[in-house]
Amino acid sequence: MQTIRDDLTGALRDAGFARVEVRTVLAPAWTTDWITAAGRAKLAAAGISPPGPVTPRGSGPVPLSLGPRRRAIACPRCGHSDTEEIAAFSATACRALRRCPACREPFEHVKEI
């Protein structure tokens, strides 16, 4: 996170801002539910399946049921709803690699966090 902070500070100073303060706030924890409808539409337009709603976890941080969550993930290209997971992790840990049996195209799915 320090590298991101340094990059942001440097870019803002290069843009003419003399005083820059970057604050890191870790609570509340970020969730994919915060992605706006416009953001989800942009992900889909880029060929990335946006996340579904986050499953409520009750009062604690660890869900009582740790089994896999099953739901239909639609292909962002053709809309086919019965896609298959190729890999649980893709370019980052928060994305999974999937494939559509209808159009045969692979795509990334942003996991619900």
Closest CA to 77 of 40, 48, 37, 52: 48
| Confidence bin at 6 (pLDDT 50/70/90) | very high
Residues 36 and 15 in one domain: no
Q: C-alpha angle with apex 62: 73 to 23, nearest 5 degrees?
A: 90
* Per-position b or e across 71-93, b if 16+ CB within 10 A of its CB: eebbbbeeeeeebeeeeeebeee
- Residue 112, token pair as written in the block: 């619900």
Residues 40 and 21 in one domain: no
Residues 5 and 42 in one domain: no
Residues 3 and 43 in one domain: no
pLDDT at 59: 56
pLDDT at 77: 94
In a domain, 104, yes or no: yes
How far, in Å, are 27, 59, 66 from residue 62 at the CA level? 16, 9, 8
pLDDT tens-digit map of 70-103: 678 999 999 999 899 999 999 899 999 999 999 9
Q: What are phi and psi of 81, to 5 degrees?
A: -95, -10
pLDDT tens-digit map of 43-72: 999 999 999 888 766 655 555 555 555 678
In a domain, 65, yes or no: no
Number of structural domains in the chain: 2
Residues 12 and 2 in one domain: yes
| Confidence bin at 1 (pLDDT 50/70/90) | confident
**Which one has a higher pLDDT value, 91 or 15?**
15
Domain of residue 3: give its range. Answer: 1-30
Q: What is the mean pLDDT of residues 3-13?
A: 95
**Cα(43)–Cα(54) distance, integer angstroms:** 17
